[in-house]
Amino acid sequence: MPKFRVKEAASLLGISDDTLRRWADAGRIAVTADISGRLAVEGADLARLAQEIAQSGGHGDGEPVVAHSVRNRFTGLVTRVVRDTVMAQVEIQAGPHRFVSLLSREAADELGLEPGMLAVAAVKATNVSVEIPSTG
Q: Which domains does the chain have, with CATH numbers?
A: 3-55 (1.10.1660.10), 73-122 (2.40.50.100)
The Cα 18–Cα 35 span in angstroms is: 21
**At residue 103, what is the residue type?**
L
pLDDT value at residue 6: 92
DSSP state, residue 35:
T
- What pLDDT, in 10s, does the model give residues 58-106? 654 445 555 555 557 788 899 999 999 999 999 999 888 899 999 999 9
Confidence of residue 128 (pLDDT cuts 50, 70, 90): low
Q: pTM here?
A: 0.60
pLDDT value at residue 112: 93
Tell me if 29 sits within 8 A of 20, measured CB to CB: yes
Q: For residue 115, what is the enclosing H or E element?
A: none
